[in-house]
C-alpha cells in the first residue's frame, strides 16, 4: 500500500505507475481516494472545531447559573447538546470514509522501481544472466516422475485416491533426499548469518491482507471453514506477520530470517494443476529467506538475496539464470522482483525455482511495522526470496545429476545429510 501523501501531492505519479503496470481500470481509484480523503480531512477539521466550541461554551453554563441566569444557561445547554449531536454524526461518518479510502488504497499498486523493465506480462520479462555449465547428454533423460518411480521414490496414484490431483507420496531415498535438501538449505542460510525460524502454518485474515494483494489471496489461499484462519502459501506470510503492529529498535536492523514451512496453494489460474508431475501442486515444503531493513539498504539486500539462491543451486550442480520481472508481471505490492530459473536438460530450457522480491514499505504500512530511529519512527522495507522449494526443484536436481543407468549422483555438499551416500540407485 502506498503512502496516501503521494495521492494528495502527486496523483499523476501514481496514475503513471498504474499505466506502467497496464492496470488502467484502476486509474479512477486515484481520483476517488483524493476526493474521499479531502472529505475525510474536512470532516475531521469540522469535528475538532465543534469539540473546541463545545468545550468553550460549556464553561459558560456554570458562570450563568451562579449569576442566576437560568434561562440563558438552559439555552447554552441546548446548544451544547446540538453540537454534541453534530460531533456524533461526524464520528459515525469518519470510520466509513476511512474504510472507503482503505479499500481503494489496498488495490492501488505499489510504486515500482525505475529499473523495472516495462512490459505487459511474463512474456516480456528480461533475462539478466546465466550461471553454471550446462551438462551435455548423449542419451535421453526421462520425465521427472519416471525417474522417481524407477527409484521407488514417488506414489502419485495413491495420493490421488486419498487427496486428489496435486498431491504426492515421497518414499525411500527420494523422501530422504527431499529432507536433506531442506536441511542443507537451512544450514546454508544460517551460515550466511540468518536466524532459523519455524513459524505458524495458519494466519488470520488481517495478516493475509497485510502481506499480499486480494488477487493473490483469491488464487492461492485455503481458508479454514468457520474460523478466521488461512493456511499459508509461503512462510513469508507468517514471518512478516510476526511483526504486526510493532515498534522495532533500529539498532537490531537488518532482521535476517530463514524459515521452514509446508506451503498450501489452490493454484487457481491459467496454469492449473498437473495430473502427472510435481511442478505445480497443492502442497509442498520450502525454505524461505526474509529481510526487514532500513529503506536505504533494501536494494543491496535484494542483490544479496538472489545471489544466495544462485550460489546454492550451483553447489547442487544445477545451472541457473536470473529473469527480471517486467512491470506487468509484478504483484501489486512489489517494487522489484526477479525469478531464479533452473536449467532443465530434458526440456533444454530454464524454469522458475525461486522468486526474489523487494516490497518496499508496502507490507510495513499495511501491518503497522515501524522502526524507532534517531529522528522518530519510520516504516522499514521488507524483502523475501525462496531459498529452495522441493519437490519442484527436484526436477532440476534429478535432470542435472542423472546417469544413463538411472542412478542419481548426490553432490558433495548433500552427502553428509544423506548419511554419506554418494548415489541413489535402483533397488
234/217 Cα distance (integer angstroms) = 12
140 and 228 within one domain: yes
CATH number at residue 34: 1.10.287.40
90 and 205 within one domain: no
Whether residue 114 lies inside any domain: the answer is no
99 and 150 within one domain: no
229/227 Cα distance (integer angstroms) = 5
Whether residue 26 lies inside any domain: the answer is yes
What's the mean pLDDT when you consider all of the chain?
93
Whether residue 265 lies inside any domain: the answer is yes
- Domain residue limits at 130: 122-424
* Predicted local confidence at residue 410, as pLDDT: 98
Assess contact for 238 and 244: CB atoms under 8 A. Answer: no
280 and 413 within one domain: yes
* Predicted local confidence at residue 274, as pLDDT: 62
- Of 71, 105, 139, the one marking the end of a domain is 105
* Predicted local confidence at residue 1, as pLDDT: 82
136 and 43 within one domain: no
* Predicted local confidence at residue 268, as pLDDT: 61
94 and 182 within one domain: no
The predicted-structure confidence for 387-425, as pLDDT tens digits, reads as follows 999 989 999 999 999 999 999 999 999 999 999 999 999
85 and 152 within one domain: no
Whether residue 358 lies inside any domain: the answer is yes
**DSSP secondary structure string for all residues of 156-216:** HHHHHHHT-TT--EE-HHHHHHHHHHHHHHHHHHHTTTPEEE---SEE-HHHHHHHS-HHH
- What is the mean pLDDT of the segment spanning 251-262? 97
pLDDT surpassing 60 at residue 272: no
5/16 Cα distance (integer angstroms) = 16
- pLDDT above 90: percentage of residues in the chain: 83
Domain count, the chain: 2
- Distances, alpha carbon 71 to alpha carbons 3, 61, 62, 152, 343, in Å: 52, 10, 12, 96, 89
pLDDT surpassing 90 at residue 314: yes
333 and 290 within one domain: yes
413 and 339 within one domain: yes
Give me the torsion for CA of 352, 353, 358, 362, rounded to 10°: 90
pLDDT surpassing 90 at residue 56: no
Whether residue 382 lies inside any domain: the answer is yes
- What is the mean pLDDT of the segment spanning 260-286? 81
The predicted-structure confidence for 1-22, as pLDDT tens digits, reads as follows 899 999 999 999 999 999 999 9
322 and 233 within one domain: yes
Which of 32-36, 67-71, 228-232, 282-286 has the weakest average pLDDT? 67-71
CATH number at residue 135: 3.30.930.10
- What is the mean pLDDT of the segment spanning 213-231? 86
Whether residue 115 lies inside any domain: the answer is no
pLDDT surpassing 70 at residue 269: no
127 and 100 within one domain: no
284 and 353 within one domain: yes
346/137 Cα distance (integer angstroms) = 9
Whether residue 110 lies inside any domain: the answer is no
Whether residue 201 lies inside any domain: the answer is yes
- Of 105, 133, 163, the one marking the end of a domain is 105
Q: In the structure, what pLDDT confidence band is assigned to residue 304 with cuts at 50, 70 and 90?
A: very high
Amino acid at each position: 500500500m502506498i503512502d496516501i501523501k503521494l495521492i494528495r501531492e502527486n496523483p499523476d505519479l501514481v496514475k503513471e505507475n498504474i499505466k506502467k503496470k497496464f492496470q488502467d481500470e484502476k486509474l479512477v481509484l486515484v481520483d476517488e481516494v483524493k476526493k474521499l480523503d479531502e472529505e475525510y480531512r474536512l470532516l475531521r477539521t469540522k469535528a475538532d472545531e465543534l469539540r473546541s466550541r463545545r468545550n468553550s461554551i460549556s464553561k459558560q453554563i456554570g458562570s450563568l447559573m451562579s449569576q442566576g441566569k437560568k434561562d440563558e444557561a438552559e439555552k447554552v445547554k441546548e446548544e451544547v447538546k446540538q453540537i454534541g449531536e453534530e460531533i456524533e454524526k461526524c464520528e459515525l461518518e469518519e470510520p466509513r470514509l476511512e474504510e472507503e479510502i482503505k479499500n481503494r488504497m489496498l488495490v492501488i499498486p505499489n510504486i515500482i522501481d525505475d529499473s523495472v523493465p516495462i512490459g505487459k506480462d511474463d512474456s516480456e520479462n528480461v533475462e539478466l544472466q546465466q550461471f553454471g555449465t550446462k551438462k551435455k547428454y548423449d542419451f535421453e533423460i526421462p520425465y521427472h516422475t519416471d525417474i522417481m518411480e524407477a527409484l521407488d521414490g514417488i506414489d502419485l496414484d495413491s495420493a490421488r485416491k486419498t487427496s486428489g490431483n496435486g498431491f504426492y507420496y515421497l518414499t525411500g531415498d527420494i523422501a530422504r533426499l527431499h529432507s536433506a535438501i531442506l536441511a542443507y538449505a537451512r544450514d546454508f542460510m544460517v551460515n550466511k548469518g540468518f536466524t532459523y525460524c519455524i513459524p505458524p502454518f495458519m494466519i488470520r485474515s488481517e495478516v493475509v491482507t497485510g502481506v499480499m494483494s486480494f488477487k493473490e489471496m483469491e488464487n492461492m489461499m485455503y481458508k479454514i471453514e468457520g474460523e478466521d484462519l488461512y493456511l499459508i502459501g509461503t512462510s513469508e506470510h507468517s514471518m512478516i506477520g510476526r511483526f504486526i503492529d510493532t515498534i522495532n529498535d533500529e539498532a537490531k536492523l537488518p532482521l535476517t530470517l530463514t524459515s521452514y514451512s509446508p506451503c498450501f496453494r489452490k493454484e487457481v489460474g491459467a496454469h492449473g494443476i498437473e495430473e502427472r508431475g510435481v511442478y505445480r501442486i497443492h502442497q509442498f515444503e520450502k525454505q524461505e529467506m526474509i529481510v526487514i531493513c532500513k529503506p536505504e539498504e533494501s536494494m543491496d539486500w535484494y542483490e544479496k538475496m538472489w545471489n544466495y539462491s544462485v550460489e546454492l543451486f550451483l553447489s547442487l550442480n544445477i545451472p541457473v539464470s536470473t529473469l527480471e520481472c517486467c512491470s506487468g508481471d509484478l504483484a501489486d505490492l512489489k517494487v522489484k522482483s526477479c525469478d531464479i530459473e533452473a536449467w532443465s536438460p530434458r526440456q533444454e530450457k530454464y524454469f522458475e525455482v525461486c522468486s526474489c522480491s523487494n516490497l518496499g514499505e508496502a507490507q510495513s504500512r499495511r501491518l503497522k511495522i515501524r522502526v524507532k530511529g534517531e529522528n522518530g519512527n519510520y516504516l522499514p522495507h521488507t524483502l523475501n526470496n525462496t531459498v529452495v522449494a522441493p519437490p519442484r526443484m527436484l526436477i532440476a536436481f534429478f535432470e542435472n545429476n542423472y546417469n544413463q543407468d538411472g542412478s542419481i549422483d548426490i553432490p558433495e555438499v548433500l552427502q553428509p545429510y544423506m548419511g554419506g551416500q554418494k548415489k541413489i540407485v535402483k533397488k
